[in-house]
Amino acid sequence: MTVLLLILSVLAGVFLGKHFGKKEKLAKNLLILSAGFLITICLNEVFPQVYTASESSSLGVFVIAGVLLQMILEALTKGFEHGHFHHHNDHNVLPVALMIGLFIHAFIEGIPLANEEHEISPYLLGIVFHNLPISFILGAFLFNGKKDSKSSSYPSLLIIALFALASPMGMLLGNYFNPDLQPYFLAIVGGIFLHISSVIIFESNKNHNIDWIKIGLVVLGVSLALIMHLFHHH
């Protein structure tokens, strides 16, 4: 079930991106909504799970390591996760560095899933909500503006398959690690989540005006995560 949800979240996002990818505002709104959901999952589910699973005083270092790791990965992706994809290539060819960055990002997120107690956990749903807007942008980038769709379809499908399987592959690798390492991997991913969601939410608005739509989407994302939290714990 976990693997199926991970793959479907990518395929659904790509499908939406292929058919609605020219609507840039829709992609931005999905990102903001997912950021509100993700930061709530991070603070309300991931971090409490991290600090109750281990008494180590060094877990905070691993959270910071996750933040720094995501900063390094963004040197490869150029902020693709935040919706910054227009400047990657004038010929609509996805850069290899971007592919590597996205794969590593999704692969690391999958590792803690190996030791999740519940099949459909808040952490898993956080990844699913996170995958949707990124896959939307990926689908828009790969399938919009192509002159020869047949010649470009096979590389595009390969890229989508690699991204869809990255987290399941990380989960598979996680089965070979000592379960006692779970809090440390979760702390790293928590740092990644915290960085991505906070950057999306706190990116400067035009002329620093209040963007009520953005605030509403963040509140909606937070509300969805809190509702899911209540259902999960009851």
Domain assignment present for residue 189? The answer is yes
**Which residues, 6+ apart, have CB-to-CB distance to 30 below 8 Å?**
132, 133, 136
CA distances (Å), origin 41, targets 155, 162, 226: 34, 26, 8
User: Which pLDDT band, with edges at 50, 70 and 90, does 83 fall under?
Assistant: low
> Is residue 157 in some structural domain?
no
Tokens of 231: 């259902």
CB contact at 8 A, 185 and 174: yes
| Single-letter amino acid code for the residue at 162 | L
Q: Which amino acid appears at position 226 of this protein?
A: L
Q: Is residue 99 part of a domain?
A: yes
pLDDT in tens, 206-220: 666 778 888 999 999
Quick one: how many helices (H) and strands (E) in the chain? 9, 0
- Pairwise CA distance, residues 166 & 171, whole Å: 9
Residue 167 domain-assigned? no
Cα(first)–Cα(last) distance of the chain, in Å?
21
Is the pLDDT at 232 greater than 80? The verdict is no
- Domain of residue 197 covers 1-144+172-233
Q: Is residue 68 part of a domain?
A: yes
User: What is the mean pLDDT of the segment spanning 37-51?
Assistant: 91
> Which of 26, 30, 11, 8 lies closest to 143, judged by CA?
11
